């Protein structure tokens, strides 16, 4: 009987030891898993209605996110990097909330049209982190606002247009009047006048970012009046400008008609045939660079919530696209001089048009 009691006691002790060991093992695994999760980071974006391949902000932001994902060994999908495409404005809130529910650590809202939706969702989802492109949301610590000094690159574009123009008449087509497009106009005009004080500048607004036919009609009037170089900051409306310029070039190979693109390098849009292209250059907003940098900072624990980060010539957030050999040597030299003076602070580029 005594031996049996001792045996039962030993069995209980062994069982207890096994249970403790098991508990210790689970705790170790859990700790290890927790540490692993902490090292993970995921990022996603919601597009504007232009689509992921809009050759503008959506596409450029996605390229930056893709590059960041690939550099960090991430895969497309939950836990990595992804995007949701908006077919209409009513999709903005739904898509933002969807990505938050999928536990993405950082969610980008692309374009100022998502301002209200981002502000609303961010107030509801205070533990989530958001970054909005080309708009400023103030007073919300879980939203980082990303802006660009497009006026600086537009200054260079205006200088290039004034120096390259053969007629001394250049043009600017804006989409909808406002602070952002006004910055493009202000820089373009200032740069053109700095390069050639006698240059004539025709400025017109279409009142829309999606009316290509109106963009073409405005471009036709400008080219008919002797304007030979036109810059646009008009989104899809600018497609009409490209259409008009290419049609004129097809009819007359010697026609001096040029377009300055916006946001991305729009050289492909200017292709007339294998030998001819009507894109002089483009004003670049390096949204890909911005998205990559803010993603990295957030992953490193430096999320700029509640702040506005502005990218300019100095930090390579804006620039002029390759001219593909169109600029004269004098134009290149003058643009480089202007660029250095802007970066050094010797030239302060206006942010708003003169009234």
pLDDT for residue 12 is more than 50: no
> If you search the block for the tokens 């098991």, which residue do you land on?
22
C-alpha distances (whole Å) from 231 to each of 215, 247, 321 are 11, 17, 13
**E strand intervals along the chain:** 43-46, 81-84, 106-110, 130-133, 143-148, 169-174, 200-205, 229-233, 258-263, 279-285, 308-311, 318-320
The percentage of residues in the chain with a pLDDT greater than 90, rounded to a whole number, is: 82
Q: How far is C-alpha 255 from the chain's CA centre?
A: 34
Taking only the tens place, the pLDDT of each residue in 270-298 is 999 999 999 999 999 999 999 999 999 99
Q: How far is C-alpha 209 from the chain's CA centre?
A: 16
Helices 329-344, 150-164: crossing angle, 10 deg rounding: 150
Phi, psi of 180 (to 5 degrees): -70, -50
Q: Selecting from 3.40.50.2300, 3.90.1200.10, 3.40.50.880, 3.40.190.10, what CATH number does the domain 43-148+288-311 have?
A: 3.40.50.2300
Q: What is the pLDDT of residue 214?
A: 97
Rounded to whole angstroms, the Cα distance separating 266 from 258 reads 12
Rounded to whole angstroms, the Cα distance separating 133 from 119 reads 13
Average pLDDT over residues 314-318: 92
Token reading at 10? 């030993």
pLDDT for residue 17 is more than 70: no
Structural domain boundaries in the chain: 43-148+288-311, 150-284+325-344
How is residue 17 annotated by DSSP?
A: H
Q: Which fold has domain 150-284+325-344?
A: Rossmann fold (3.40.50)
CB atoms within 10 A of CB 256: 17
Average pLDDT over residues 249-263: 96
pTM over 0.85: no
> If you search the block for the tokens 């495409």, which residue do you land on?
85
Average pLDDT over residues 42-46: 98
Using pLDDT thresholds of 50, 70 and 90, give the confidence band for residue 189. Answer: very high
Domain 43-148+288-311 and domain 150-284+325-344 have a common topology: yes
């Amino acid at each position: 009987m005594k031996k049996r009691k001792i045996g039962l006691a030993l069995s209980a002790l062994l069982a207890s030891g096994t249970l403790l060991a098991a508990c210790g093992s689970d705790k170790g695994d859990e700790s290890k898993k927790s540490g692993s999760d902490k090292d993970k980071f995921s990022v996603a974006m919601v597009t504007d209605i232009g689509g992921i391949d809009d050759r503008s902000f959506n596409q450029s932001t996605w390229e930056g996110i893709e590059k960041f994902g690939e550099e960090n060994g991430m895969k497309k999908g939950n836990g990595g990097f992804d995007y949701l495409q908006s077919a209409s404005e009513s999709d903005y809130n739904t898509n933002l909330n969807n990505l938050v529910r999928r536990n993405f650590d950082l969610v980008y809202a692309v374009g100022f049209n998502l301002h209200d939706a981002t502000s609303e969702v961010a107030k509801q989802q205070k533990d989530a982190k958001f970054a909005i492109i080309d708009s400023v949301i103030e007073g919300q610590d879980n939203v980082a606002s990303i802006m660009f000094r497009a006026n600086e690159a537009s200054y260079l574009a205006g200088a290039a247009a004034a120096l390259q123009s053969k007629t001394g008449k250049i043009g600017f087509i804006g989409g909808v009047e406002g602070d952002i497009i006004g910055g493009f106009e202000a820089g373009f005009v200032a740069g053109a006048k700095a390069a050639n004080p006698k240059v004539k500048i025709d400025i017109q607004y279409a009142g829309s970012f999606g009316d290509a036919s109106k963009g073409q009609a405005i471009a036709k009037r400008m080219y008919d009046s002797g304007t030979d170089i036109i810059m646009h900051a008009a989104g899809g409306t600018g497609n009409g400008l490209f259409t008009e310029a290419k049609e004129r070039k097809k009819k007359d190979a010697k026609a001096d008609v040029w377009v300055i693109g916006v946001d991305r390098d729009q050289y492909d849009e200017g292709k007339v045939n294998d030998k001819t292209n009507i894109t002089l250059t483009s004003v670049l907003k390096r949204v890909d660079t911005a998205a990559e940098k803010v993603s990295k900072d957030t992953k490193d624990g430096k999320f700029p919530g509640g702040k506005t980060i502005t990218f300019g010539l100095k930090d390579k957030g804006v620039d002029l696209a390759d001219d593909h050999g169109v600029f004269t040597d004098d134009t290149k030299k003058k643009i480089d001089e202007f660029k250095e003076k802007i970066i050094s602070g010797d030239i302060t580029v206006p942010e708003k048009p003169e009234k």
